[in-house]
């Protein structure tokens, strides 16, 4: 019986189109993340399969059936990691080295044509976004399919696609096609929520600062004004309270609508502090 001394990746042609052996790269499609068989493997088994893809590119899909060599080549230290699980789910198979099907032809003319077409497509994709920005017509706003402005879409691109090499060109294309409008709408809603939350935090901090200033201001008001026995300290406190509360009072006065009890308290206290300040004589430092 002919020994099965070679491991072969099944459907190898899906992962590589090339016209020379030992290529510098392989194709690893993103749809593997949705492949039930692949994702059912353990983490170490998934890495083993990806490693075998790279070894297949080096060996013309004739990987030696030598577990020790494979572990050393892929730096796999876990001896429990076995190719048997990959064979069981039919991702790889053992064959004889002299089998006619040990490896597919490296590249038929049809494969070369596919490869060249893919390269041309990738080249077009790289230049498409740059060309879009340069070729944007003056009336693009009227012709655009997107319901969002190009400025908003560019903000979306810069915020959510940090690896884009040409965010301006990509924004032009998305504005023209409207293909990511749903994502832009969702992003805008999240941005609004984040802005509202930040505004609420800032307002809470301002309220707390104003509340602290009111507490000190009430001490001064409760004493009938700055205590003459410690005029310098109390006058400084009065100035600090006004420094905090006066801008808030100006903001309240500039706004229409119903005032809260907290707003009314600020206006009342600011009025009293201002009256005390006007009555204060100049402070003289005693040497």
What's the pLDDT tens digit per position in 59-108? 888 899 888 888 888 888 877 777 888 888 888 998 887 655 445 444 44
Q: Which residues pair with 92 in a beta bridge?
A: 9
Is the model's pLDDT at 255 over the cut of 50?
A: yes
Q: Which two tokens stand for residue 147?
A: 């319901």
| pLDDT, tens digit, 9 for 90 and up, residues 17-75 | 555 566 777 778 788 888 888 888 888 888 999 999 989 888 888 899 888 888 888 88
CB 92 within 8 A of CB 86: yes
User: Hey, what are 142's tokens?
Assistant: 């009227």
pLDDT beyond 80 at 226 = no
User: How would you classify the pairing of strands 6-9 and 63-64?
Assistant: antiparallel
Backbone angles phi, psi at 285, to 5 degrees: -85, 130
Look up the pTM and report it.
0.40
- Per-residue pLDDT, averaged over 136-159, amounts to 76
For residue 7, give the 3-state DSSP assignment.
strand
Within 13 Å and on the Cβ side, how many CA atoms surround 237? Answer: 18
pLDDT tens across 174-225, in order?
899 888 899 999 999 999 998 999 889 988 888 898 888 888 888 777 766 5
């Amino acid at each position: 019986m002919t020994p099965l001394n070679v491991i072969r990746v099944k459907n190898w042609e899906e992962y590589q189109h090339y016209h020379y052996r030992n290529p510098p790269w392989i194709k690893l499609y993103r749809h593997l993340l949705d492949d039930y068989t692949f994702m059912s493997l353990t983490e170490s088994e998934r890495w083993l399969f990806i490693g075998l893809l790279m070894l297949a590119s080096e060996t013309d899909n004739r990987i030696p059936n030598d577990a020790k060599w494979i572990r050393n080549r892929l730096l796999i230290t876990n001896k429990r990691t076995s190719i048997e699980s990959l064979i069981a789910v039919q991702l790889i198979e053992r064959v004889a080295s002299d089998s006619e099907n040990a490896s597919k032809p490296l590249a038929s003319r049809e494969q070369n044509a596919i490869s060249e077409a893919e390269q041309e497509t990738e080249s077009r994709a790289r230049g498409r976004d740059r060309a879009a920005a340069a070729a944007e017509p003056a009336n693009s706003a009227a012709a655009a399919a997107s319901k969002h402005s190009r400025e908003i879409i560019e903000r979306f691109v810069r915020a959510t696609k940090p690896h884009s090499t040409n965010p301006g060109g990509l924004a032009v294309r998305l504005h023209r096609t409207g293909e990511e409008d749903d994502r832009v709408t969702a992003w805008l809603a999240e941005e609004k929520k984040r802005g509202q939350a930040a505004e609420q935090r800032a307002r809470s901090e301002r309220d707390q600062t104003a509340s602290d200033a009111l507490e000190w201001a009430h001490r001064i008001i409760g004493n009938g004004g700055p205590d003459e026995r410690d005029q310098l300290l109390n006058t400084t406190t009065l100035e600090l309270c006004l420094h905090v509360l006066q801008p808030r009072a100006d903001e309240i006065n500039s706004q229409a609508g119903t005032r809260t009890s907290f707003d009314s308290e600020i206006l009342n206290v600011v009025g009293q502090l201002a009256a005390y300040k006007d009555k204060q004589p100049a402070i003289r430092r005693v040497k």
